[in-house]
Amino acid sequence: MRFVLLIGLVAVTAGCAGRVSARFETHIRPHAEKISMCYLQALQRDPAAAGEIEVVVTVAGDGKVIAADLVKNTFADDQVGRCVAGVLQAVSFPASHRNETVTFSYPVVFTQEVPESVRKP
């Protein structure tokens, strides 16, 4: 999964480093802008900020998130990871057919890149 949010001349990219089940990806995708905003806040503190986070999400059988725990963080502090975990905590997932609790890992790589359309030749 890859989110790109254009801010001025810089595209803020959050790319999922791992494979998240399509069942969950579909419900996370509408929150891409909120996830990108977590990174934009880090860029305000440090314009060169970049890193990886991983959040382990546990979803109850009724589709409500029980936990969203930051398990990997390469940023200088855990603010981006906590912010993304908060966004994921608020996502509503579909109920499980068997009312089972499901846990999945959500790894994200945050980088800055200049869009092809504005790069100098």
19-36: pLDDT as tens digits: 567 778 888 888 988 998
Structure tokens at 42: 């880090």
**pLDDT of res. 9:** 45
Residues in contact with 22: Cβ distance below 8 Å, sequence separation at least 6, in sequence order = none
Any idea where the domains of the chain sit in the sequence? Answer: 2-118
Least confident of 11-15, 20-24, 70-74, 96-100: 11-15
Which CATH number describes the domain made up of 2-118?
3.30.1150
Instruction: Please determine, for residue 73, whether its predicted confidence score (pLDDT) is greater than 90.
Output: yes
> DSSP code of 118?
G
Would you say residue 102 has pLDDT above 50? yes
Mean pLDDT of the chain: 82
Q: Which of 30-44, 57-71, 94-108 has the highest mean pLDDT?
A: 57-71
